[in-house]
Chain A
Amino acid sequence: DTAVSQTPKYLVTQMGNDKSIKCEQNLGHDTMYWYKQDSKKFLKIMFSYNNKELIINETVPNRFSPKSPDKAHLNLHINSLELGDSAVYFCASSHTNTGFQGYTFGSGTRLTVV
């Protein structure tokens, strides 16, 4: 009964490919996020969706496109993958977009671009 589930857990792909990472939460939260954790372990916000509406879109290349078919899902599609995209990507959700409530994170997707 995983609260925030991401798939796949590991993804190894070649430069130039297009890939997607899926995220689903069963907590009834109305806000979902994508974070990137780099090699120095910093977690950086990429996108935030509240009730299927984009509310945060940090400076990420437009090769990254989030898609939210409903408020329980927030998928991350990446076009033309580059070596620098290698990182661990975390999906998270919270009850409101105020950010006060605790975030629940998924287990992460380790993306390796070769």
Chain B
Amino acid sequence: KNQVEQSPQSLIILEGKNCTLQCNYTVSPFSNLRWYKQDTGRGPVSLTIMTFSENTKSNGRYTATLDADTKQSSLHITASQLSDSASYICVVSRSNDYKLSFGAGTTVTVRA
């Protein structure tokens, strides 16, 4: 069983609408959690990195939340644009060896 589970697997939203992606993890001991955006045919690009003490972090229209107690994170996309169409990957790092565990990603499709 993967230590980082993301949901939904994919979603379609209309341009201008908001959406929220979920990430649950079991990685321990926890160091930090990252959200990456991967456009088709490109490498992942970092959106946010959150440590244990951070609950919310924003990067433009992207807002990530972290609940380290329940081991859950979410990525909220506000006022979606066509360019937001991509795969969003949740990545959790361990604090003992800093090994990264990757989720399978959520594929977001924004339609006009």
Which residues of A approach B to under 8 Å, CB–CB? 4, 40-45, 56, 90, 92, 97-100, 102-108
The residues of A that contact B20 with a CB separation of less than 8 Å are: none
Complex CA–CA separation, A43 to B99 (angstroms): 12
Complex CA–CA separation, A92 to B102 (angstroms): 14
CB pair B98 A97 closer than 8 Å: yes
* B59-81, CB < 8 A from A: none
Other than A102-B34, A108-B42, give 6 A-B pairs with Cβ distance below 8 A.
Answer: A41-B87, A42-B102, A100-B49, A104-B46, A106-B43, A107-B41
The residues of A that contact B99 with a CB separation of less than 8 Å are: 45, 56, 99
Which residues of B approach A to under 8 Å, CB–CB? 2, 31-32, 34, 41-46, 49, 87, 89, 93, 98-100, 102, 104-105
Give the Cβ gap from B41 to chain A, nearest Cβ, in Å: 7
Complex CA–CA separation, A98 to B87 (angstroms): 26
Give the Cβ gap from B93 to chain A, nearest Cβ, in Å: 5
The 10 A-B residue pairs with the shortest CB-CB distance in the complex, in nearest-first order: A99-B98, A105-B43, A102-B46, A43-B102, A105-B44, A99-B93, A41-B105, A107-B43, A106-B43, A107-B42
CB pair B43 A90 closer than 8 Å: yes
Give the Cβ gap from A103 to chain B, nearest Cβ, in Å: 7
The residues of B that contact A41 with a CB separation of less than 8 Å are: 87, 89, 104-105
Complex CA–CA separation, A104 to B49 (angstroms): 13
The residues of B that contact A97 with a CB separation of less than 8 Å are: 98
Instruction: Output the nearest chain B residue to A10 by Cβ-Cβ distance.
Output: B41
Give the Cβ gap from A99 to chain B, nearest Cβ, in Å: 3
Instruction: Output the nearest chain B residue to A40 by Cβ-Cβ distance.
Output: B104
CB pair A99 B100 closer than 8 Å: yes
Give the Cβ gap from A107 to chain B, nearest Cβ, in Å: 5
Complex CA–CA separation, A93 to B90 (angstroms): 18
The residues of B that contact A56 with a CB separation of less than 8 Å are: 99
Complex CA–CA separation, A103 to B100 (angstroms): 11
Complex CA–CA separation, A95 to B112 (angstroms): 39
